Amino acid sequence: MRRFINDCWNGVMDHEKNPLRHIPNIQVRHMVLQLLAWMWCIMFSLWVGSITVFGFTAVAHAAILAAITITVSTFEIAKRKPDIFTKNKK
């Protein structure tokens, strides 16, 4: 069980093991991980706050599901098209 928890943690938090490893620029990789962490902090705060306000829970659940979708999508894009994070669009 301990190894499973460690593997799950590393699968998300270790930039050399999660799908963001495909982004060649480590600074961009770090920034993307920071943005995802910020998003999850907001989602957790919304969830904890929703415990006291029942009517808000539907919105919080939708927001948490959206956060999961954004995270999975970001990881998939990093795995399949890592250059998209470093290209300068003019």
pLDDT tens digits, 12-36: 778 788 888 898 888 888 888 888 8
Give 58's Cβ-side CA count (13 Å radius).
1
Tell me the mean pLDDT in the region 65-69.
90
* Residue 70: predicted pLDDT: 92
What is the pLDDT confidence band of residue 50, given thresholds at 50, 70 and 90? low
How far is the C-alpha of 44 from the C-alpha of 18, rounded, in Å? 21
The whole-angstrom separation of Cα 51 and Cα 44 is: 11
Predicted TM-score (pTM) above 0.75: no
**Residue 80: what pLDDT?**
92
